[in-house]
């Protein structure tokens, strides 16, 4: 396995962890104590009260460092295409951690993305 592929997989893992944390924090924006306040005030209030947003930012920053490492040891066209694995991770992470449903169009789209990644990685 190439070093770039490993770095992309690690980067995308951390990016998905960050997105899940952000989603959990964002879901709390519409709680009763923030209802009626301007959106930016809600966001700033949540940043102070909900650690999931800080954890999400830390995870995304970690992912960024691995992404930069992947770019430093692989071709942009290859690394960027491998980054599409994030869609696959996101689908299953949303199902497992956020109890979102996986319907047929999402599954077919994810399978097509997977096929595209495989075909590109092999070439």
**Average pLDDT of adjacent 10-residue blocks, the chain of 123 residues:** 86 95 79 66 72 89 95 87 86 91 90 84 72
- Predicted local distance difference test score (pLDDT) of residue 118: 80
Tell me if 50 sits within 8 A of 102, measured CB to CB: no
**Rounded-to-integer distance, Cα 10 and Cα 19, Å:** 14
Q: Is 34 helix (H, G, I), strand (E, B) or coil?
A: coil
**Rounded-to-integer distance, Cα 41 and Cα 105, Å:** 36
- Predicted local distance difference test score (pLDDT) of residue 35: 63
Q: Is 38 helix (H, G, I), strand (E, B) or coil?
A: coil
- Predicted local distance difference test score (pLDDT) of residue 75: 86
Q: Per the structure block, which two tokens stand in for 34?
A: 């923030």
Residue 57: other Cβ atoms inside 10 A = 15
- Predicted local distance difference test score (pLDDT) of residue 37: 73
- Predicted local distance difference test score (pLDDT) of residue 26: 78
* pTM given for the model: 0.78
- Predicted local distance difference test score (pLDDT) of residue 33: 61
For 80, the domain range is 3-122
Q: Per the structure block, which two tokens stand in for 53?
A: 């947003």
CA Rg, the chain, in Å? Answer: 17
Domain count, the chain: 1
Q: Per the structure block, which two tokens stand in for 71?
A: 């770019």
- Predicted local distance difference test score (pLDDT) of residue 8: 92
- Predicted local distance difference test score (pLDDT) of residue 113: 86
């Amino acid at each position: 396995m190439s070093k770039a592929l490993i770095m992309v997989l690690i980067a995308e893992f951390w990016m998905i962890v960050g997105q899940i944390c952000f989603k959990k924090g964002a879901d709390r924006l519409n709680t009763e104590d923030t209802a009626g306040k301007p959106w930016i005030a809600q966001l700033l209030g949540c940043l102070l009260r909900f650690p999931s947003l800080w954890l999400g930012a830390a995870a995304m920053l970690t992912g960024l460092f691995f992404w930069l490492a992947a770019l430093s040891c692989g071709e942009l066209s290859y690394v960027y295409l491998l980054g599409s694995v994030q869609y696959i991770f996101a689908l299953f992470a949303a199902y497992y951690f956020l109890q979102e449903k996986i319907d047929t169009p999402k599954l077919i789209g994810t399978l097509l993305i997977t096929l595209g990644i495989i075909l590109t990685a092999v070439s």
